Chains A and B, each alone.
Chain A
Amino acid sequence: MSKNILLYSAILIFGLVAPFVFPAFKVQLSILCVLIVLATTWNIQGGEMGYNTFGNILFYGLGMYLCASVQVGMFFPLAEWTESGGEKTFVHTPAQFFQGMAVGLVVAAVVPTIVAGLIGYAILGLRGHYFAICTLGLGVAAGEISGGIEIIGAGQGFTTPPFPEVGGLEARGEFFYFLSFGALILTFVAVRAIYSTRFRLILNAIRDNEDKAEAMGIETMKYKIIGWMVSAFFCGLAGGIMGGLVGYIDSTDVAFDGREMGVFMVLMAILGGKGTLWGPVIGATVFHIFKEGFWTFFLGWQYVALGVLIVVIVIYFPEGIMGWLREKYPEKFGEVIDEKDRKAQVELK
């Protein structure tokens, strides 16, 4: 237990001092936090529940648009803000900016949760590939639809409110870093708490054999929906933060970015090891480091390099980093191997 406390406090301290020790990396670190949130929440479906979803990007994009819309709409007419020909310039005062952001983030988290409940009720009856393909469609459809809605900028995109003139040059980066770090902590603590209850076992039961789970009297539908709502809550929150951080929302390239973020979140969870608490965290970190490295050193070829990485992962680490570690050092995971028994088995063969 003491080691656990040591670990968590080390992470917390690292997180708190990181923006000051590595000021140049604030944005990358903020994005890392968002990536971890996305991977961790994807893992609830993909890893624990065995439902491979590509639809979580829907909640992320929804959160992004909602947060920005609320932040603007609370103080100014939204339509005039997004209309590109508008000659008027709106400027948020610091108080307006932060108030808007706070309310925006709440909306960005709550509304996708409700949406997840509704959509989940409709489509969580699908299983396997059918569910995966259906959710894939959700993300694509959301991107196309939002690209046609004038009030949120349609194809023009949506410029989120610029950061107000407070603090120094570094204020914006620090604000968004701590926001995303906060979201990360919140997500991790919540997911960890959830995983320590019976809920995780139910999700695992659904993954391992849904019909049996149902036969045992578990209302699988209810738990699947709740699981998805939990994911949606944090995805929406992450989206809201990311919108402010990027500063410009485009329907298919930034918000409902299934091609990148939507795939990355799956990849990160698999890389780290799905079905584990730490897997997505480690996966996201490793992935982000590799990605940034490739972008620096293989200019123009980064996706080729990334593709090679994915192939290597799939071939050599099919169970992810955590799975690989577990196989290699089972004793570190609290698994005891009875040498005698093992030898006896080997001899039998």
Chain B
Amino acid sequence: MKISKIILSFISAVAILLSTSVTSFAKVVGDKIVLGAAISLTGKYSSNGVHTQNGYNMAVDRINSMGGVKVGGKTYKFEIIYYDDESNPKRAAQLAERLISQDGVEFMLGPYSSGLTKAIAPVTEKYGVPMVEANGASRSLFTKGYKYLFAVLAPANLYLDVAIDLAVEKNNGKPVTVAMAFEQDAFSQDVRLGVLDAIKRTGSKKVIDDKLPKELNDMAATLVKVKQMKPDVLVVSGHTKGALTAIRQIAEMKVDVPMLAMTHCDAAKLSKQHGKNSQYALCASQWHKTLTYKDNFFKDGMKYAADFEKEFGYDPPYQSAESSAALLVFKDAFERANSFDQKKVRDALAATNMQTFYGNIKFAEGGQNVDKPMVLFQVMCDGSGKCENKVVAPTKWASAKLIHPIPKWSER
């Protein structure tokens, strides 16, 4: 057979290609600390992926321009290698492997979303690569016994359970009826578990419990049911697309519900782009610019928001803020460890106890941040139609009073 010759030469070509493309470089090159990150630049999480990337870049620039990282008497600068994980867990796991074994990265930053973090964590864990992640909130990430995973954010089940408590409080302590619609993904399903816990705790009742598909563009079926059942609270979670779809269709269908609790309102730029349609929506957030936490790099939330806006042209959602915070945590840990030994850095990370503009950061055994509460803000509009997110809970941070119940569409 003659074709065997062709195939043989083909194989040798592949072998040569492979051997020439091994370009391993170490984690610390010269005066650079190279971090690796797989980010969703395309696919369903691309908008939040970009928020994450902007947050990382913002912090890298800031830390580098303010003296960098001092380890062993020498100053180092951060640098990040990015890959696009396409919002796909399979791809993310592959890229983590690639960052570690081909690019020689020894420290990782997290991707966007719980699902992708879940895919990457087993890989970083296996190689003992410390990963500080800012966008994987699913509770199951913190119960697997991972030792090299650190999350600067509060776990997903805490996102919206406060909203249920708030609704009960407004109902004079009496149980409420809850309608729920959650996307079929790791994060949203975890938010759902948190809401279920809160429902159980307060003796409330769930009247609708819908699952929304991943490529979420329509939730009219759920909203029809909401119109019929008239629940006290409607809870929706499905990343940016979920927030946008809910606001668009609630306004279109004129669905009246006393309380609308959601996630990802700021990432979806609701108050800017949907204005009055998004008015009164209650949103869970890891961070808000009016919180009064402080640090040396970004000073405080307001300053961070202003700088961010100048750089990227939009108000930073919490996804960007928490991503920036991840870099601050790394810097702090490197300096305390005073070494680039992965074990030592890991131990330093575990001992983190600091305040950043984004909030206090202190990791529990499982790697989640236990020192930072969630906040709820409400979209509020003034007479001219200009809308803003105002923190309404917890009371310590509140800059406005919760408007409850939401006025009916016919009265707006």
A interface with B by C-beta (< 8 Å): 3-4, 6-7, 10-11, 14, 18, 21-28, 31, 84-89, 91, 144, 147-148, 154-157, 159, 162-163, 169, 172-173, 242, 245-248, 250-254, 257, 260, 278, 282, 285, 289, 295, 299-300, 302-303, 322, 325, 329, 331-334
Contacts and interface: CB of A to CB of B under 8 A. Distances in A.
A10 B3 contact: no
Nearest to A281: B7
Interface of B: 1-8, 10-11, 14-15, 17-19, 22, 24, 41-42, 82-84, 87-90, 93-94, 97-98, 101-102, 115, 118-119, 122-123, 125-127, 138-140, 143-145, 157, 182-186, 188-190, 193, 211, 213-214
A23 B101 contact: yes
Given A246-B119, A253-B88, A299-B83, A155 B3 contact: no
Contact of B115 (A253, A289, A303, A332): A253
Nearest to A31: B94
B316 to A, nearest CB: 21
A307 to B, nearest CB: 13
Contact of B186 (A10, A84, A247, A285): A84
A84 B213 contact: no
Nearest to B85: A295
Given A3-B1, A87-B143, A155-B183, A24 B22 contact: yes
A159 B6 CA distance: 42
11 contacts: A84-B138, A147-B214, A157-B115, A159-B140, A163-B126, A246-B90, A250-B186, A295-B83, A295-B84, A299-B83, A322-B3
Say what secondary structure dominates the interface of chain B: helix
* Chain A residues touching B, majority SS: helix
Given A10-B11, A252-B214, A27 B4 contact: no
7 pairs of A and B residues whose beta carbons are closest in the complex = A155-B184, A84-B140, A332-B2, A247-B122, A248-B119, A7-B4, A89-B145
Most B C-beta atoms less than 10 A away, residue of A4, A21, A31, A157: A157
Contacts of A289: 14, 17
A4 B144 CA distance: 49
B5 A3 contact: yes
Given A24-B102, A332-B6, A333-B3, A156 B190 contact: yes
A242 B177 CA distance: 43
Contacts of B22: 22, 24-25
Contacts of A144: 213
B337 to A, nearest CB: 21
B158 to A, nearest CB: 12
